[in-house]
């Protein structure tokens, strides 16, 4: 269970509990304990409003201090709850000689227990009693809840005995996770300490592997529900992939296994390095800043960063326009980079966890028994591609592409420590590597793989090798497509399109796209189609017609990748005209002979028609889930 975070400065400017407690006593003395409730409520309403206004003012002055604002919000609610408890137990329902059962501990649970709240977050509290509730404890709990509700707070609450608390935590993962973060707020500390002791001894003991497995499954299910990508253009800041909940999951796992009391303790137990923890904290602070601004702007618990909110939050966080990029595009680009950081830190955390558990003979992450014969100096570490030494990429920078080629060829995962080294050494991919024929052949093999090019290209993108090797692609990483049509950033959209193309070719989408699947078996150059799919949006965000500019990129890049002059010409044509078929079908009258004639004159050959059809299918389908329809 959790200790109170000590990161509040000038606390009394937010709320002065001592002064308010004195005012409560004065009101009771003046009007009597039976008639003072309206005045007490009014006093607390004023204190809550003043406290929120002060926190909002501080955030306005320092718009990137979201983590501090979240702690201040939890601190404000703590003081309100304490004032209410004292008023209810001393004046509303005083009990001169309480029995052993007439004791209550108030626990903050969930995010509130962690000491982090956005301005309109739920107040999740638990009332714990030593035994079954007496009539006095029921009256007190009810009176406290009614005051909290009358203050306009959205309260998530439970009221249980110690035995019920333990039993429910053993049976329900959500309750167990909430209690894992519970923190003493007020009341009987001895009851809280007994609850904490029994939680660790009776609920947590010997259940760590199960908890980790269930939490990872819960995370995967949540990602699926939210679109299964960090790069959706209207992301959910809390529950989306790369959001706050992913960071919380790491903390929960670390806390469950090692009893850490703060996220910084993850360093001491070896689950994050100092540098990784700093990235964790920086991303968390940014996400909290965005979330607090969203709550303040909407006046409610809004977690989805919609197009409308993106502009307002960008303004609140003082992002400015720059030549060729608006403030909102710069803000969203920075958001996606932080979401990527969350993904990177998660992978490294799980690697450290896996290493620690492997030493004890237990593994959370499944291993692979496949043992390919030829790894060109790379090694296998429990079924994952690893490096023989820390300087392996420095000795030959082309290996930065070779590791991904081998991962694709042998269908292997890459060890997170190797991925971390690749990120560190990505700067070695210079112009010499970009022009290296071996490096270009490896990249083209990955791009046109018959296995799973989407996954391997995504790994390359996460490690920044992709953008280093193809500098034009680097320009569209985390590039917003600011319209109501595209659900993903340009890089994510392009990689998804490659994945769809591979699935059509392999027959996995034969039922959805029978014509495209048949065409894929009969085209002259499949690599033309894969390269065109990669490059079709490569010039987005450059301030001109991205189709024309993209064709110019293709004319330069294709020969470097090893494509012939004829292939290069076809790729450039496809990129220049990749919107032709969709524009014709959506915007022109297909019953008009001139429409067909104009289209035929532009396309000129059956081969181009086949290629354009398949490219159009994957382009439309890759803009987002549920977009493809009849």
The whole-angstrom separation of Cα 498 and Cα 411 is 17
Position 341 scores a pLDDT of 86
CATH number reported for the structural domain that contains residue 569 in this entry: 1.10.3210
Position 4 scores a pLDDT of 42
The tens digit of pLDDT for each residue in 328-338 reads 888 988 998 89
In this structure, is the dihedral angle defined by the CA atoms of residues 39, 44, 47 and 49, taken in order, positive or negative? negative
Lowest-confidence region among 106-115, 193-202, 355-364: 355-364
CATH number reported for the structural domain that contains residue 343 in this entry: 1.20.120.330
Please determine, for residue 363, whether its predicted confidence score (pLDDT) is greater than 70: no
% of the chain surpassing 90 pLDDT = 57
Query: Are 309 and 241 in the same domain?
Result: yes
The whole-angstrom separation of Cα 401 and Cα 390 is 16
Question: Coil, strand or helix: which one is 185?
Answer: strand
Cβ distance 123 to 90 under 8 Å? Answer: no
Q: Does any domain span residue 377?
A: yes
Please determine, for residue 225, whether its predicted confidence score (pLDDT) is greater than 80: no
Q: Does any domain span residue 123?
A: yes
Which residue segment(s) compose the domain that 571 sits in? 470-621
Position 598 scores a pLDDT of 82
Position 3 scores a pLDDT of 44
Position 373 scores a pLDDT of 60
In this structure, is the dihedral angle defined by the CA atoms of residues 164, 167, 170 and 173, taken in order, positive or negative? negative
Please determine, for residue 205, whether its predicted confidence score (pLDDT) is greater than 70: yes
**Reported confidence tier of residue 624, pLDDT bands at 50, 70, 90:** low
Position 133 scores a pLDDT of 82
Strands 183-187 and 105-108: antiparallel
Query: Are 314 and 376 in the same domain?
Result: no
| Domain termination site, one of 359, 381, 409 | 359
Please determine, for residue 325, whether its predicted confidence score (pLDDT) is greater than 50: yes
The whole-angstrom separation of Cα 30 and Cα 44 is 17
Query: Are 190 and 229 in the same domain?
Result: no
Please determine, for residue 203, whether its predicted confidence score (pLDDT) is greater than 70: yes
Q: Does any domain span residue 154?
A: yes
Query: Are 151 and 220 in the same domain?
Result: no
Position 197 scores a pLDDT of 94
Q: Does any domain span residue 463?
A: no
The whole-angstrom separation of Cα 536 and Cα 501 is 13
Cβ distance 346 to 254 under 8 Å? Answer: no
Segment 94-123 shows an average pLDDT of 89
Position 481 scores a pLDDT of 60
Query: Are 176 and 227 in the same domain?
Result: no
Position 228 scores a pLDDT of 61
Please determine, for residue 512, whether its predicted confidence score (pLDDT) is greater than 70: yes
Q: Which residue has the higher pLDDT, 368 or 168?
A: 168
Say how many CA atoms lie within 13 Å of 153 toward its Cβ.
32
Q: Does any domain span residue 387?
A: yes
Please determine, for residue 6, whether its predicted confidence score (pLDDT) is greater than 70: no
Position 358 scores a pLDDT of 66
Segment 258-283 shows an average pLDDT of 87
Q: Does any domain span residue 544?
A: yes
Query: Are 315 and 196 in the same domain?
Result: no
Position 95 scores a pLDDT of 79
Please determine, for residue 296, whether its predicted confidence score (pLDDT) is greater than 70: yes
Q: Which residue has the higher pLDDT, 121 or 354?
A: 121
Position 20 scores a pLDDT of 96
Query: Are 136 and 180 in the same domain?
Result: yes
Query: Are 157 and 21 in the same domain?
Result: yes
Query: Are 373 and 318 in the same domain?
Result: no
Position 117 scores a pLDDT of 94
Segment 571-577 shows an average pLDDT of 95
Q: What is the DSSP letter of 388?
A: S
Q: Does any domain span residue 458?
A: no
**Reported confidence tier of residue 556, pLDDT bands at 50, 70, 90:** very high
Query: Are 198 and 227 in the same domain?
Result: no
Q: Residue 378's CB: how many other CB atoms inside 10 A?
A: 23
DSSP assignment of 441-489 equals HHHHHHHT-SS-HHHHHHHHHHTTHHHHHSHHHHTTTT----SSS--B-
Position 5 scores a pLDDT of 43
Position 259 scores a pLDDT of 87
245 phi/psi in degrees, rounded to 5? -65, -30
Q: Does any domain span residue 457?
A: no
Cβ distance 30 to 210 under 8 Å? Answer: no
**Reported confidence tier of residue 340, pLDDT bands at 50, 70, 90:** confident
Query: Are 317 and 394 in the same domain?
Result: no
Please determine, for residue 12, whether its predicted confidence score (pLDDT) is greater than 90: yes
Position 420 scores a pLDDT of 83
CATH number reported for the structural domain that contains residue 78 in this entry: 3.30.460.10
| Domain termination site, one of 332, 359, 386 | 359
Please determine, for residue 269, whether its predicted confidence score (pLDDT) is greater than 70: yes
The whole-angstrom separation of Cα 74 and Cα 171 is 28
| Domain termination site, one of 307, 325, 359 | 359
Nearest to 295 by CA among 49, 118, 63: 118
Mean pLDDT taken over the chain:
88
The tens digit of pLDDT for each residue in 453-505 reads 999 999 999 888 999 999 999 988 877 765 545 567 888 899 999 999 999 99
Domain count, the chain: 4
**Reported confidence tier of residue 315, pLDDT bands at 50, 70, 90:** very high
Query: Are 275 and 224 in the same domain?
Result: yes
Lowest-confidence region among 25-39, 277-291, 435-449, 479-493: 479-493
The whole-angstrom separation of Cα 195 and Cα 172 is 16
Highest mean pLDDT among 171-175, 354-358, 396-400: 396-400
Whose tokens are 């253009």? That residue is: 233
Whose tokens are 């389908």? That residue is: 621
Question: Coil, strand or helix: which one is 496?
Answer: helix
Position 371 scores a pLDDT of 57
CA distances from 56 to 1, 20, 148 (A): 29, 21, 21
The tens digit of pLDDT for each residue in 22-65 reads 999 999 999 998 899 999 999 999 999 999 999 999 999 999 99
Please determine, for residue 364, whether its predicted confidence score (pLDDT) is greater than 60: no
Q: Which residue has the higher pLDDT, 518 or 543?
A: 518
């Amino acid at each position: 269970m959790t200790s109170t975070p000590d990161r509040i400065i000038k606390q009394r400017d937010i709320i002065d509990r001592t002064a308010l407690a004195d005012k409560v006593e004065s009101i009771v003395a003046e009007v009597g304990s039976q008639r003072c409730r309206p005045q007490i409520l009014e006093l607390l309403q004023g204190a809550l409003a003043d406290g929120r206004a002060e926190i909002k003012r501080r955030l306005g002055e320092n718009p990137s201090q979201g983590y501090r604002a979240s702690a201040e919000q939890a601190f404000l609610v703590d003081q309100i709850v304490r004032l209410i408890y004292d008023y209810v137990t001393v004046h509303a329902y005083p009990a001169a000689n309480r029995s052993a059962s007439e004791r209550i501990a108030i626990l903050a649970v969930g995010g509130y227990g962690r000491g982090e709240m956005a301005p309109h977050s739920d107040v999740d509290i638990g009332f714990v009693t030593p035994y079954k509730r007496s009539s006095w404890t029921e009256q007190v709990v009810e009176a406290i809840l009614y005051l909290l509700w009358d203050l306009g707070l959205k309260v998530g609450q439970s009221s249980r005995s110690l035995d019920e608390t333990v039993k429910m935590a053993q049976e329900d993962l959500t309750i167990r996770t909430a209690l894992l973060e519970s923190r003493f707020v007020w009341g009987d500390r001895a009851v809280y300490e007994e609850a904490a002791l029994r939680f660790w001894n009776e609920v947590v003991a010997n259940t760590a592997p199960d908890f980790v497995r269930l939490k990872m499954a819960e995370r995967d299910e949540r990602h699926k529900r939210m679109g299964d990508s960090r790069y959706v253009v209207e992301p959910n800041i809390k529950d989306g992939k790369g959001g706050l909940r992913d960071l919380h999951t790491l903390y929960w796992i670390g806390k469950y296994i090692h009893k850490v009391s703060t996220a910084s303790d993850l360093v001491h137990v070896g689950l994050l390095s100092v540098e990784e923890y700093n990235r964790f904290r920086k991303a968390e602070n940014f996400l909290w800043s965005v979330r607090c601004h969203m709550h303040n702007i909407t006046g409610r618990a809004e977690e989805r960063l919609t197009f409308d909110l993106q502009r307002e939050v960008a303004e609140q966080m003082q992002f400015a326009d720059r030549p060729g990029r608006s403030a909102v595009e710069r803000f969203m680009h920075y958001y996606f980079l932080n979401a990527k950081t969350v993904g990177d830190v998660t992978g490294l955390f799980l690697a450290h966890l896996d290493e620690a558990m492997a030493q004890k003979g237990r593994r959370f992450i499944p291993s692979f028994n496949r043992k390919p014969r030829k790894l060109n100096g790379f090694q296998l570490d429990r079924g994952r591609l690893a490096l023989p030494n820390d300087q392996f990429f420095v000795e030959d920078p082309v290996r930065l592409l070779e590791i991904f080629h081998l991962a694709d060829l042998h269908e292997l995962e890459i060890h997170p420590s190797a991925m971390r080294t690749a990120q560190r050494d990505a700067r070695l991919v210079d112009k010499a590597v970009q022009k290296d024929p071996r490096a270009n052949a490896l990249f083209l093999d990955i791009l046109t793989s018959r296995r799973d090019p989407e996954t391997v290209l995504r790994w390359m993108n996460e490690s920044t090798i992709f953008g280093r090797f193809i500098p034009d692609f680097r320009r569209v990483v985390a590039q917003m497509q600011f319209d109501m049509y595209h659900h993903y950033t340009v890089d994510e959209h392009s990689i998804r399109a490659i994945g769809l193309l591979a699935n059509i070719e392999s027959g996995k989408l034969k039922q959805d796209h029978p014509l495209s699947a048949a065409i894929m078996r009969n085209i002259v150059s499949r690599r033309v189609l894969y390269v065109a799919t990669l490059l079709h949006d490569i010039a987005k965000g450059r301030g001109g017609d991205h189709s024309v500019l993209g064709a110019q990129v293709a004319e330069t890049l294709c020969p470097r990748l090893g494509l012939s002059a004829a292939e290069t010409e076809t790729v450039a044509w496809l990129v220049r005209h990749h919107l032709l078929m969709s524009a014709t079908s959506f915007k022109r009258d297909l019953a008009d002979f001139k429409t067909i004639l104009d289209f035929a004159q532009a396309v000129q050959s059956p081969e181009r028609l086949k290629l354009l059809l398949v490219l159009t299918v994957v382009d439309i389908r890759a803009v987002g889930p549920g977009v493809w329809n009849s």
